[in-house]
Amino acid sequence: MKKDSMARELMMEVIVGGFMVLIFLGLVYFTIILSRERWFQTKYTVEVIFRDVMGLRVGDSVVVRGMPIGKVKHLDLRRDGVHVFGMLDQPVHLRQDYRIRVVSTSILGGRYLQIHEGSDSAPELPEDTVCRGEEAYDLMADAAEAVNALKKALTEKGGILDNFKDAMAKIQIVADRLESGKGTLGKLLSEDDTLYRDLSSTVSSLKNITGKIEKGEGTIGRLVQEDGIYNDVKATVKEVRGAVDDFRENTPVVTFTSILFGAL
Task: Sketch the domain layout of the chain as residue ranges.
Answer: 1-35, 44-137
Which amino acid does the sequence have at 236?
T
pLDDT, tens only, 138-194: 666 666 677 777 777 666 666 666 666 677 777 777 776 666 666 666 655 555 666
CA distance 170 to 186: 16
In the chain, pLDDT over 90 holds for what percent of residues? 29
CA distance 39 to 255: 123
Summary mean pLDDT of the chain: 75
pTM: 0.44
Closest CA to 117 of 131, 98, 90, 89: 98
CA distance 245 to 251: 10
pLDDT, tens only, 74-110: 999 999 999 999 999 999 999 999 999 998 887 677 8
CA distance 66 to 108: 20
CB count in 10 Å sphere of residue 132: 14
CA distance 57 to 73: 9
Q: Could you tell me the pLDDT band of residue 260, with boundaries at 50, 70 and 90?
A: very low
What Rg do the C-alpha atoms of the chain give, in angstroms?
A: 48
**Residue 2 gets which letter from DSSP?**
H
CA distance 192 to 197: 10
What are residue 50's DSSP bridge partners? 82
**Residue 123 gets which letter from DSSP?**
P
CB count in 10 Å sphere of residue 41: 8
pLDDT, tens only, 27-39: 766 666 655 555 5
Q: How much is the average pLDDT of 196-205?
A: 72
